[in-house]
Amino acid sequence: MVEETARAIAYRHALNEIRIPALERIELYERSSGETSDVVQKQLYRVPRAAESAAGEGDQALRPEGTPGVIRAYIDAGLDRSDPEQRFFYCGSMFRYERPQKGRLRQFNQFGVEIFGRADAACDAELIIMIDEFRRALGLDVRFEVNSLGDGQCRPAFRAALLEWGRAHYSELCEDCHQRLERNPLRLLDCKTDAELAKSAPSSLDYLCEPCRTHFGAVERMIGVAGVPYEVNPRLVRGLDYYTRTTFEVTSSAVGAQSAIVAGGRYDGLVEALGGAAIPGTGFAIGVERTALALAPERYGAGGAPDVAIIAIGAGAVDYAIGLAWELRAAGRRVELFSPERGVKALLKRADKLGVRHALIVGDDEIRTGVVQVKDLRAGVQTAVPRAGVAAAVSRDAD
């Protein structure tokens, strides 16, 4: 249901699907994600080309994220020069070697969006609004955080300030941050171990040049107009090196320590860094499994509780129930036919736990009289409805 909902929203936003390979050359991720990123340093699944090849020559990696592969395909097709403004979405498995825990898997699925050829703030705002549509559709209880990292004009000053701060607090930093400090001090703000210490670090917003400040102000204004609930987090940098200007993250307290379920931002220099033209880009990725975890348990795991549960009392009613289920599914209802070997009370309890709105009960008496018992589990009201009127009685819009 998570992927289905994301696909429906992507379709409404005029995005086109792209399929990217699970294997790419390692150099693609070293040049995009950054040599100091955890993705490259710790998490890549490396696939040697052949035993007789020179060490490392032609080695590939299972994709740890989708953005570099989409950009590689975009450049290979010559779109960066012939038709640069493109809107893509993708969905598939990603692979990262790390210690599994709740919300963190070595093989996981992402639904991603990438838009090329748009440098304007409206494009950034559209992505955040799209994610808010996703949040509303699934009833997620989440927190939106946004920030701006500046660009090539103003980020060097911010980087220098972070470097100075890191050197001053060197003895308090973890071992990973010792290694990141000189190579990419922005990564200090992405460290979970030193998160409390990072609260005293310089703020990216204090170093923005006027164009970046104007861009970020426009993003804030537009998502505010759209009613997106958000907070500004000046220390949000994300874990990848390619982000510029707008970055954002959506978190859920229901997922545990791995709380980010959606993340993304702008990467205006990445297409050029991977060998293409100087084309701006922006995008995001949804963690499918984490989003499923963030949904309330009663929402049927993936936010798609059946519209209707059918309970057949006795073996003689099963054939009737199967026919009824077929009719309702043909009418567009999401239907689950419960086991006839369990008691009505237990099955009604299960339906309520799954978040089902209507339970239909049929037995010999109902078959003989041509009715179905329709129980509205929210209102606690049960009504005998003629079979011909059942589809209307269990409409998603029925009160």
Rounded Cα distance, 160 and 91, in Å: 38
Six-digit token string for 309: 């549960």
Per-residue burial over 3-40, b = 16 or more CB atoms within 10 Å of its CB, e = otherwise: bebbeebbeeeebeebebeeebebebbbbbbbebbbbb
In a domain, 130, yes or no: yes
pLDDT, tens digit (0-9, with 9 covering 90-100), for 143-185: 999 999 999 899 889 889 988 888 888 888 888 888 877 777 8
Tokens matching residue 5: 């909902």
How far is 70 from 66, CA to CA, in rounded Å?
Answer: 6
**Is residue 315 located within the same domain as residue 292?**
no
What six digits make up the tokens of 366?
């109902």
pLDDT digits 0-9 by tens, 181-197:
777 788 778 777 877 88
Pairing mode of beta strands 231-232, 244-251: unpaired
pLDDT tens profile 113-130: 999 999 999 999 999 999
Domain match, 85 and 150 both: yes
Rounded to an integer, the average pLDDT of 28-32 is 79
281 and 318 fall within a common domain: no
pLDDT of residue 27: 85
Domain-ending residue, one of 241, 269, 298: 298
Structural domain includes residue 194: no
The domain in which residue 361 lies consists of 305-393
- The pTM score is 0.74
Q: Which residue has the higher pLDDT, 49 or 389?
A: 389
Does residue 159 form part of some domain? no
CATH (domain of 99): 3.30.930.10
Q: What is the largest CA-CA distance in the chain?
A: 84
Token pair listed for 265 = 């931002």
Considering the domain architecture, whether residues 17 and 143 belong to the same structural domain is answered as yes
Mind listing the pLDDT tens digit for each residue in 315-326?
Answer: 778 888 888 998
Helices 155-168 and 175-183: angle between axes, nearest 10 degrees: 140
With respect to residue 336, please indicate whether it lies within any of the assigned structural domains.
Answer: yes
Same domain flag for 285 and 351: no
Return mean pLDDT, the chain: 86
Question: Pick from 248, 274, 298: which residue ends a domain?
Answer: 298
Structure tokens at 124: 């950034």
Structure confidence at residue 33 (pLDDT): 63
